[in-house]
Structure formats: C-alpha cells, structure tokens
Chains A and B, each alone.
Chain A
Amino acid sequence: DAKTTQPPSMDCAEGRAANLPCNHSTISGNEYVYWYRQIHSQGPQYIIHGLKNNETNEMASLIITEDRKSSTLILPHATLRDTAVYYCIVRSNYGQNFVFGPGTRLSVLP
C-alpha cells in the first residue's frame, strides 16, 4: 500500500477554513485517497474519499493534485466540534487493507 505523510498537528481559528495536507507520492493508479477523523476516543468517522477528481460533500472538500501525489482536506468553516485527529489513507478499490498512520491533530481555537 502507498504510504501517506501528514503534519502531526495544526491549529485553525473557529469559522475559518481548515486545510489539512497529505502527501502520498507513491500512490498508484487504482488507489483512492480516504479521509477519516477521530474525535477524542470515539470510533473514527468517514469524511470523504476520491480518486483523481476533486470531491465535495456536506462535511468537507477533497482536493487532489493533478499528479495525485498529494491532497488537501478542506473544512470550509471549522467549528470547535471539528477538533479531532484526521487520518489520510490510500487504498485501492479491491482487496486491500485499511492502514492508519498517526494522522494530524487539528485544534480549532475560539
């Protein structure tokens, strides 16, 4: 599986956009980029995923670079409840394992 690299921590002001980067330079053509988050000690929660086009849902937007070697998760208007650890995972469509890295701890500040 391709590996991902994320900054260990980030801060964001409440109401501003939070932009969380992820590097996946060894990603292969059939691998998707997934984002999850974990709030405190709850089970991680799915946010969004994409292959090469940018994606948007009610929670976030995912921007994938043209060469697919990196991506950015955007929370458009961060709230205090978005404080969590955010995980970027690369996984192919079929028969591949989900492996979590250490993630980015996002702190949304009032």
Chain B
Amino acid sequence: EAQVTQNPRYLITVTGKKLTVTCSQNMNHEYMSWYRQDPGLGLRQIYYSMNVEVTDKGDVPEGYKVSRKEKRNFPLILESPSPNQTSLYFCASSWGGGSSGELFFGEGSRLTVL
C-alpha cells in the first residue's frame, strides 16, 4: 500500500531534549516536505527536498534541521526543542515532475514541548 509513515504520532517532551520525527515513503517519490500546523495559521512549510541530498528552507525553518540521505526517508530534527515548537507536524511526498502532482501526506505527529 502506498503510504507516508511518520513516527512518533504523539510525543510529549521537555525543552532542550533533542528529538527526531521520522518520515518514510514507499512510492519512490523525489519530492518530500515537512509542514507544521497551528490553530488559525494553516499549513506552514518548514523544509522541503527535491531529491536526495537536496534540501531547502520553507517559510518557518528556524529551530529545525532535515536530511535527505536516502530517497525514502526525510527526518525532521529538533536539536533543542522549545515550547513554541508545540504543533501538529505533517510529512508529505510527491513525484518531482510529471503532470500528476498529487501530494501524499502522513497521518501527522502531534508534538508537545513542555
């Protein structure tokens, strides 16, 4: 089954404790992206990647890191989480080109930083 898998789905952590949210897709997609969603602010993009070893900042990259060492994985790293990073996070993937631009989303990871 084609899917984007995020882990963990729920996490409560404390300020400053490094964490990684993993994202994996099984569709051989070139494009992957991370979004955060906060009440009243819609989906805001954190980072995206057009292909392996190619990443770029989105609209709200501060406090986050990403890496794209393999095509299927695109982890989101919070080196020193702060309470303002409490949010609902979505990973997504798509073909990099072609006329089918369907973006597949994971189920979301709800993160709380105390």
Contact = CB atoms under 8 A, between A and B. Distances in A.
Secondary structure dominating the interface of B: strand
Main secondary structure of the interface of A (DSSP, over half): loop
Interface string A84-102: 0101000101110111111
Given A41-B88, A43-B90, A98 B42 contact: no
Contacts of B94: 98
Given A43-B108, A103-B42, A98 B50 contact: no
Nearest to A38: B43
Interface of B: 4, 31, 33, 35, 37, 41-45, 48, 50, 56, 58-59, 88, 90, 92, 94, 96-99, 101-108
Interface of A: 32, 34, 36, 38, 41-46, 49, 51, 85, 87, 91, 93-95, 97-103
